[in-house]
């Protein structure tokens, strides 16, 4: 079967195109995209589609880009095809999003291609990924650690993005271009062995071919099998997850814990992966992190948590599992000018205070919900604030000074909650770590005549 027939068969097999579609072709000038553009152009009347092409300048190879743009423009002009160029700033995006260069380039490239498609009324975007790219992707994911979903490789169709060359090998592409007398350009970055994909392409796959010369076809078939199985599991996972989510935002997803604890590992792993994929702020969690989350679910205690890259936290609550990249709450500053009531918003509590004689005190509290201090050892205004670097106090019953940081560690207060712990302060001294421990210096003693009593109540919204 020649390459054109193979592409037609792939298009039909995956229902990539319909009569009247407008296809935007991602054109880099490399052999894959030139082959894709040429074949789809030959088939456009038979398929009944309209074509345009776009070149994306990543700003990474300024010496090569002008020639590539001229080459692509000339090619499109020779075919009477509309041609669009657009520039993206990958280096700035790397710094902004803390991604590696390849991830940043990919995200920006897809974003801009979608923008161009919208501007030109193109309802399909065709990319030149081939069977070799498919094999490289599977091996990359295998080396980094992945599950069946990762081993399903590059999808031939994902929503409006199609890959008509996904079952064509690179050697077939090169032969087609040679037979057609088509020129192309070489991206110098594809020749560097510093990238894992290039190492796999130039070193590992040639070595594997000494064992299995059809390794590209073998891996492509493997990807097909995994994709079929993934489709089946996706139905199960979708139905399962719909029943589990209690709250969801762009940065947080909260899931009922009980069903997760009883869930079979195969389904649990997929449910977590889907939950993460559907929550924008959680992207970047890898397969190994999924395993850590499963361990937390199965073995952790209520209140336990794990800290993952990109400021992501996973918290095992009493009845829910929370995955979030929200910045931990940081307490503001509140002034208490006289006894009364004050709402501490970040802690969701109301702090009530009253002055009374020592003889009126019936309950001295445990410093968690209630606390009593010597009223004559403090002065108004009292301040409620979060921790500051260098804070210390004298924990009641401890007998000596202690750094607040060390106290938080000893009390096993999670580090993402420490900035939200309210401190009652007089001048520069901590009087009370609210909800935890009083300072020895302000305790009621035999000389106390008046007390200041505090009570903590939950804030009812």
Q: List the domain boundaries for the chain.
A: 3-223, 249-324, 334-458
Question: Could you tell me the CA-to-CA distances from 317 to 279, 283, 301 in Å, in that order?
Answer: 19, 22, 8
Task: Summarize pLDDT for 312-336 with one digit per residue, the tens.
Answer: 999 999 899 999 999 888 899 999 9
pLDDT at 191 > cutoff 70: no
Q: Which two tokens stand for residue 253?
A: 């997803």
Give the pLDDT band (50/70/90) at residue 284: confident
Number of Cβ atoms within 10 Å of the Cβ of 452: 24
Q: What is the mean pLDDT of residues 244-257?
A: 93
For residue 20, which of 165, 164, 123 has the smallest C-alpha distance? 123
pLDDT in tens, 203-213: 999 999 999 99
Q: Which fold has domain 249-324?
A: 3.30.465
Q: What is the pLDDT of residues 4-54, one digit of tens each?
A: 999 999 999 999 999 999 999 999 999 999 999 999 999 999 999 999 999
CB neighbours of 41 closer than 8 A, spacing ≥ 6?
A: 51, 79, 81
CATH superfamily of 334-458: Phenylalanyl-trna Synthetase, Chain B, domain 3 (3.50.40.10)
| pLDDT at residue number 103 | 84
Conformation bin of residue 110: beta by default, left when phi > 0, alpha when psi is -120 to 50: alpha
Q: Tell me, what DSSP letter sits at residue 346?
A: G
- Residue-wise pLDDT for 380-436, tens only, equals 999 999 999 999 999 999 889 999 999 999 998 988 889 999 999 999 999 999 999
Q: How confident is the model at residue 461 (pLDDT cuts 50, 70, 90)?
A: low
Looking at the chain, the whole-number percentage of residues with pLDDT higher than 90 is: 76
Q: Tell me, what's the pLDDT at 328?
A: 87
Per-residue pLDDT reduced to its tens digit, 332-377: 999 999 999 999 998 889 999 999 999 998 888 889 999 999 999 9
Confidence (pTM): 0.65
Which residues have C-beta within 8 Å of that of residue 290, sequence separation ≥ 6? Answer: 269, 272, 273, 276
User: pLDDT tens for residues 82-107?
Assistant: 999 999 988 888 888 777 888 888 99
Of 406, 453, 414, which is closest to residue 432 (Cα–Cα)?
453
User: Six-digit token pair at 100?
Assistant: 């590696």
CATH topology for 3-223 is Rossmann fold (3.40.50)
Residue 220, burial from CB neighbour count under 10 angstroms (0-12, 13-18, 19+):
buried
d(CA 451, CA 355): 6
Place of tokens 């000074």: 401
């Amino acid at each position: 079967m020649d390459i054109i027939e193979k592409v037609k068969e792939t298009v039909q097999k995956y229902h990539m195109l319909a009569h009247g579609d407008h296809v935007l072709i991602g054109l880099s000038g490399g052999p894959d995209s030139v082959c894709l553009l040429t074949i789809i152009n030959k088939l456009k009347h038979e398929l009944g589609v309209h074509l345009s092409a776009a070149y994306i300048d990543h700003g990474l190879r300024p010496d090569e880009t002008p020639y590539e743009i001229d080459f692509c423009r000339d090619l499109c002009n020779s075919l009477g095809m509309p041609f669009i160029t657009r520039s993206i700033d990958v280096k700035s995006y790397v710094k902004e999003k803390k991604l590696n260069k390849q991830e940043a380039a990919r995200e920006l490239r897809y974003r801009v291609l979608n923008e161009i498609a919208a501007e030109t009324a193109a309802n399909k975007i065709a990319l030149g990924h081939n069977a070799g790219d498919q094999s490289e992707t599977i091996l990359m994911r295998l080396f980094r650690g992945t599950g069946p979903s990762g081993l399903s490789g590059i999808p031939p169709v994902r929503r409006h993005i199609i890959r008509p060359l996904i079952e064509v090998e690179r050697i077939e592409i090169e032969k087609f271009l040679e037979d057609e007398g088509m020129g192309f350009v070489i991206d110098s970055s594809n020749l560097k062995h510093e990238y894992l994909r290039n190492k796999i392409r130039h070193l590992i796959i040639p070595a594997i071919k000494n064992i299995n010369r059809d390794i590209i076809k073998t891996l492509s078939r493997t990807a097909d099998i995994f994709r079929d199985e993934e489709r089946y599991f996706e139905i199960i996972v979708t139905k399962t997850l719909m029943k589990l989510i209690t709250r969801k935002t762009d940065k947080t997803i909260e899931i009922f814990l009980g069903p997760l604890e009883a869930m079979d590992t195969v389904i649990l792993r997929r449910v977590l992966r889907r939950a993460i994929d559907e929550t924008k702020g959680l992207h970047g969690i890898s397969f190994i992190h999924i395993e850590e989350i499963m361990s937390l679910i199965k073995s952790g205690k209520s209140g336990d948590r794990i800290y993952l890259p990109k400021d992501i936290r996973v918290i095992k609550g009493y009845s829910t599992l929370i995955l979030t990249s929200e910045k931990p709450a940081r307490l503001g500053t509140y002034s208490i000018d006289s006894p009364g009531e004050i709402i501490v918003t970040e802690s969701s509590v109301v702090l009530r205070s009253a002055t009374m004689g020592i003889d009126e005190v019936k309950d001295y509290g445990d410093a968690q919900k209630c606390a009593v201090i010597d009223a004559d050892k403090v002065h108004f205004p009292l301040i409620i604030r979060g921790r500051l670097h260098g804070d210390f106090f004298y924990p009641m019953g401890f007998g000596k000074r202690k750094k607040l940081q060390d106290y938080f560690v000893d009390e096993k207060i999670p580090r993402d909650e420490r900035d939200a712990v309210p401190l009652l302060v007089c001048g520069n001294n901590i009087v009370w770590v609210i909800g935890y421990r009083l300072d020895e210096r302000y305790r009621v003693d035999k000389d106390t005549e008046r007390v200041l009593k505090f009570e903590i109540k939950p804030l009812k919204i």
